[in-house]
């Protein structure tokens, strides 16, 4: 049950803060036009020349103020989407719930949003779920309305093209100077409206090196279970931002610190608590640091490898439990992989094109210790990712040094590396454990009812190595 009446609570939370409104003139801030995308400037100028208000807004203003380089530039205006469209030939309108204009310049898209209000104007266009969650918000408003419906004060700053000033309606300018993420309005109400804001608090604090304001941090552990109400597809997208933007390790620590890990990755959180030595946690953190290093070096990172890291503790725990019940090792591995995936899907919609290679990375780990059918394993489309994963496990605990050395040498041994998947060991007979584990198309659904159908030959997907591959993570 909500602790307060959501309509009233939202109303209170969204009151503007007129006393905090201020304009920071050009010489009072560090934002320079040379750091703004030329296409964004083009959009701003054209809107202004047509007589509309035009501002750069949101993450771009925040990032520019802390000296970062924004990954996208959003514009806010008092022009309606239709008016925006009439100004730009390269513009398309998107969104049903709230119409937005996209002005398209090749690969760069400048998103132009009309000021919108969240407050209930009696038109019925604003609807709140009984738990206080925001369902629709379809009302245009003033710039002040637009500011207070945003999530954090640092995200509610507007750079005005007319005089190059920064407009601040919620105290965000000072909060950015003090490097603090602070929710606008009553934190509990704002988290109930949209629980994903809890993850955004952690992610943006990690990315920017900000702290989360005490009042905004306090409700997090208690409200964390609300994340289960968020759409799993949205949580998947948010996870990619949390963990594939170069601040994965910091984000993970933030999730732990604020009690959000249990809600987002419940089985991993439980496994980490049960693992007294801390080896699994070290392994996860090591993996996330490796991912951050790859992002920093502009190398590709894969969601399959990422989730293989994040859910490895859960997989290990499930595997141990099944083996304790006397399940045959190969069967236990398959079932553990399946179980962990199915349970995690209740929270995060991990697409199959990532969950399958993730499972393969896990299942191939057992093959490394066997050191059999070397050529076949080397030719497996997921070998490289699985080997990188082995290296990662070794970095967190020295047990696997022998295996790493063996498989590293094997890759350099041309007589083995070229052997391919037709059975280097030449015995021709299918190894019931090995073939199942190596099956590139192992189907978790099939595994639920027992063994997946066996194939004599593995089918290689075109470019199949890329989904799982994180080559070079070693």
Residues that bind ligand ATP (CB under 6 A): 58-59, 71, 74, 150-151, 155-156, 194, 196-197, 241
Cβ of residue 73: shortest distance to Mg ion, in angstroms? 8
116 - beta bridge partners?
Answer: 140
Which of the listed partners (ligand ATP, Mg ion, none) does 150 bind, with a CB threshold of 5 to 8 Å by partner kind? ligand ATP
Closer residue to Mg ion, CB minimum distance, 70 or 254: 70
Does the annotation count 63 as an active-site position?
Answer: no
Cβ of residue 62: shortest distance to ligand ATP, in angstroms? 7
**Contacts (Cβ under 8 Å, ≥6 apart) of 146:** 57, 76, 115, 116, 117
Closer residue to ligand ATP, CB minimum distance, 190 or 393: 190
DSSP 441: T
Closer residue to ligand ATP, CB minimum distance, 59 or 187: 59
Q: Cβ-closest residue to Mg ion?
A: 59
Closer residue to ligand ATP, CB minimum distance, 196 or 404: 196
Buried b (16+ CB within 10 A) or exposed e, 414-442: eebbebebebbeeeeeebebbbbbbbbeb
- Please pick, among 151, 388, 431, 439, the residue that the annotation labels catalytic: 151
Which of the listed partners (ligand ATP, Mg ion, none) does 443 bind, with a CB threshold of 5 to 8 Å by partner kind? none
- Please pick, among 72, 120, 194, 443, the residue that the annotation labels catalytic: 72
Q: How far is residue 454's CA from residue 438's CA, in Å, rounded to a whole number? A: 10
**Contact string 54-73 vs Mg ion (x = CB under 5 A):** -----x------------x-
Q: How far is residue 151's CA from residue 377's CA, in Å, rounded to a whole number? A: 49
Give pairs for 37-42: CB < 8 Å, separation 24+: 37/73, 37/108, 37/110, 39/73, 39/103, 39/105, 39/108, 39/110, 40/73, 40/75, 40/110, 41/161, 42/105
Q: Cβ-closest residue to ligand ATP?
A: 59
Closer residue to Mg ion, CB minimum distance, 72 or 443: 72
Near Mg ion in 22-61, by CB under 5 A: 59
Which of the listed partners (ligand ATP, Mg ion, none) does 155 bind, with a CB threshold of 5 to 8 Å by partner kind? ligand ATP
Does the annotation count 168 as an active-site position?
Answer: no
- For residues 467 and 357, the answer to whether their CB atoms sit within 8 Å is yes
- Please pick, among 63, 74, 175, 467, the residue that the annotation labels catalytic: 74
Q: How far is residue 182's CA from residue 242's CA, in Å, rounded to a whole number? A: 19
Cβ of residue 165: shortest distance to ligand ATP, in angstroms? 18
In 10 A of CB 49, how many CB atoms? 11
Cβ of residue 177: shortest distance to Mg ion, in angstroms? 20
Closer residue to ligand ATP, CB minimum distance, 158 or 315: 158
Cβ of residue 450: shortest distance to ligand ATP, in angstroms? 43
94: which 2 tokens?
């998107």
Does the annotation count 151 as an active-site position?
Answer: yes
56 - beta bridge partners?
Answer: 75, 159
Instruction: From 373, 349, 470, select the one nearest 431 (Cα to Cα).
Output: 373
Cβ of residue 112: shortest distance to ligand ATP, in angstroms? 13
- Residues with active-site annotation: 72, 74, 151
Provide the binding-site residues for Mg ion, judged by CB under 5 A. 59, 72
């Amino acid at each position: 049950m909500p602790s307060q009446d959501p309509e009233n609570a939202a109303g209170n939370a969204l009151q503007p803060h007129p006393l905090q409104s201020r304009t920071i003139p050009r010489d009072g801030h560090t934002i320079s036009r040379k750091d703004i995308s030329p296409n964004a400037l083009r959009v701003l100028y054209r809107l202004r020349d047509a007589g509309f208000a035009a501002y750069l807004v949101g993450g771009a203003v925040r990032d520019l103020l802390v000296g970062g380089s924004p990954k996208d530039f959003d514009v806010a205006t008092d022009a309606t989407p239709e008016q925006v469209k009439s100004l730009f030939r390269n513009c398309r309108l998107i969104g049903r719930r709230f119409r937005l204009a996209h002005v398209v310049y090749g690969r760069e898209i400048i998103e132009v949003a009309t000021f919108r209000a969240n407050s209930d104007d009696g038109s019925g266009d604003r609807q709140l779920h009984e738990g206080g969650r925001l369902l629709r918000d379809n009302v245009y408003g003033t710039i002040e309305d637009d500011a207070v419906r945003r999530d954090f004060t640092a995200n509610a700053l507007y750079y005005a093209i007319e005089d190059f000033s920064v407009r601040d309606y919620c105290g965000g300018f000072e909060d950015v100077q003090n490097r603090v993420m602070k929710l606008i309005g009553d934190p509990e109400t704002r988290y109930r409206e949209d629980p994903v804001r809890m993850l955004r608090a952690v992610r943006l604090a990690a990315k920017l090196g900000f702290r989360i304001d005490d009042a905004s941090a306090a409700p997090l552990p208690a409200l964390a279970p609300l994340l289960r109400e968020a759409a799993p597809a949205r949580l998947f997208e948010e996870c990619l931002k949390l963990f594939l933007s170069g601040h994965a390790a910091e984000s993970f620590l933030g999730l732990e610190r604020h009690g959000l890990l249990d809600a987002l990755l419940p089985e991993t959180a439980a496994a980490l608590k049960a693992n007294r030595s801390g080896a699994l946690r070290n392994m996860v953190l090591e993996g996330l640091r490796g991912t951050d290093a790859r992002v920093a070096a502009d190398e590709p990172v894969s969601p399959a490898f990422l989730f293989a890291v994040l859910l490895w503790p859960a997989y290990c725990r499930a595997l141990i439990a099944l083996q304790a019940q006397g399940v045959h090792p190969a069967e236990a591995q398959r079932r553990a992989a399946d179980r962990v995936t199915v349970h995690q899907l209740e929270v995060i919609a991990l697409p199959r094109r990532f969950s399958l290679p993730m499972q393969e990375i896990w299942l191939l780990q057992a093959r490394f210790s066997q050191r059999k059918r070397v050529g076949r394993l080397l030719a497996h489309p997921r070998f490289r990712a699985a080997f990188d994963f082995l290296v990662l496990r070794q970095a967190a605990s020295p047990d696997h040094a022998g295996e790493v050395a063996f498989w590293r040498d094997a890759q350099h041994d041309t007589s083995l590396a070229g052997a391919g998947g037709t059975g280097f060991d030449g015995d021709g007979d299918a190894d019931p454990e090995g073939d199942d584990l190596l099956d590139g198309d192992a189907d978790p659904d099939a595994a639920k009812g027992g063994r997946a159908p066996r194939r004599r030959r593995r089918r290689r997907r075109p470019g199949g190595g890329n989904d799982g591959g994180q080559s070079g993570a070693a």
